[in-house]
Structure 1
Amino acid sequence: MLAEGGWPAVTTRAVAERAGTNVGLIHYHFGGLPGLHEAIARRAGDEIVGSVVDALVAAPDPSAALDTVRALVPATTGDGPRMRLAVEVMAGALRDPVLGEVLRQELRRARERIGARLAELRPSWSDERRAGAATVIVALVDGLLLHRLLDTTLPVDEALTALGDLLGVRP
């Protein structure tokens, strides 16, 4: 529903109708509309951010991670409902402090998971260096997704090849 009509479409009545239940049950389970919105934002954030992080941490080496990003950016931005969902989560996070905190938690968790993978790949790095690298990686992927969403001609392959050259990573 969020991807279909944005946050205004996500009411307790509309969710109850779609779920084939009554509004009272939605209020009881989620504590009202704010709790419902928070649960939706958490699930959407996990679906959007978590799936990208899952793919990145599964990459066996930096070259494979670049290839993963190379494949994820067009696939993710080409999925209309998924991108509408991402945009609505971001818009909601900017308007509502509770939804903003949910998205911040999802991004923190993404950085922590990538940092943990970097600890495996680069055990000699300090915690601070891994945290910094994880922040850059999450921001890079987020930025590429946003830019590709706004400009479908974005040269993602070329950008990632240049990044690989800068990092000394060869395909």
Structure 2
Amino acid sequence: MSTVRGREARDRLLRAAAELIAEYGWTAVTTRMVADRAGIGAGLVHYHFESVAALLAEAAITAARGMMTELESLLAQSDDPLSVLLGMLDDYSGRDPMSLLLVEAYLAASRDVQLRQELGGVVDGCRRMLEVRLAERGVPDASGTAIVLAAAVDGLLLHRALTGRPSGADIASVLRQLLPTGGRETS
């Protein structure tokens, strides 16, 4: 198999796995399902990945890294990290494919040490990004604030999956009260 074709097949498998995790749940996804969705023979799944679990983990980590890259880009374009986070929150209903994929990945990570480490690394990277942006804004405890903001957004996403609310606008004023501006306006 040529390098390009191999890379394309691998990418199709990762996309298919991510879609299927969101649709059916982590434990319901099989080699056959992924191969069928990707339009690839089932044998190629194990050519590219040592197991279905490895494929699912890589699909989830790839998606989480993509989300982190998106956040990094948005943070670089804005002077208001909180508005960026709340805006991203409003892009996800809690029942959309990305939200469901991440919820499934968090649950799977509670039972899989390697996935927990890799997904934890993505979460830590996100926190560090926020910490840097908050420190630039003069927030006194940028590290602690980044941890709380990231956890709040994760928790709010879980609530939205169950109840459909709150929106970013619903919680913006509360979070802004918790976020010192260091002398710079955040409106």
Superposition TM-score tier, normalisation by shorter sequence? 0.7 to 0.9
Shift of 1:59: 5.1
Shift in Å, 1:49: 4.7
Match among 108, 118, 123 for residue 107 of structure 1: 123
Indicate the residue corresponding to 1:120 in structure 2. 136
SS of the aligned residue for 2:84 comes to: helix
Distance, in Å, in 2 between the alignment partners of 1:49 and 1:170 is 22
Question: Which residue is equivalent to 2:88?
Answer: 72
Secondary structure of residue in 2 paired with 1:77 = coil
CA distance in 1, matches of 2:121, 2:95: 24
Question: Which residues of 2 match residues 124-143 of structure 1 at below 5 A?
Answer: 129-143=141-155
Change (3 A) 1:68 1:98: same
The answer to whether the Cα contact below 8 Å between 2:61 and 2:118 also exists between their aligned partners in 1 is yes
| TM-score, normalised by the number of residues in structure 1 | 0.77
Q: Assess if the C-alpha contact under 8 Å between 1:44 and 1:89 holds in 2.
A: no
What residue number does 2:25 align with? 6
1:1-171 superposed matches below 5 A: 1-55=20-74, 57-58=75-76, 60-61=78-79, 64-77=80-93, 80-122=96-138, 129-154=141-166, 156-166=168-178, 167=180, 169-171=185-187
| Contact 1:2/1:85 (8 A) holds in 2 | yes
Partner SS for 2:78: coil
CA offsets 1:101-159 (integer angstroms, 9 cap, x no match): 2221110111122223334333x96xxx4322221221122122222222224364242
SS in 2 for 1:95: coil
Q: How does the TM-score come out when normalised to structure 2?
A: 0.71
Structure 2: 5+ residue stretches without partners: 1-19
Distance 2:121 2:84 in 1: 24
User: Kindly tell me: are residues 120 and 50 of structure 1, through their superposed partners in 2, closer, same or farther at Cα, counting changes over 3 Å?
Assistant: same
Give unpaired runs (5+ residues) of structure 1: none
Q: Work out which structure has the larger RCO, using CA pairs closer than 8 Å and 6 or more positions apart in sequence.
A: 1
Identity %: 34
Contact (CA 8 Å) 1:11, 1:33: kept in 2 or not?
yes
Flag as ranges the 4+ runs of structure 1 deviating above 6 A: none
Change (3 A) 1:160 1:153: same
- CA distance in 2: counterparts of 1:153 and 1:136, whole angstroms: 19
Deviates more, 1:35-44 or 1:64-73: 64-73
Cα 1:153–1:145 shift into 2, 3 Å: closer
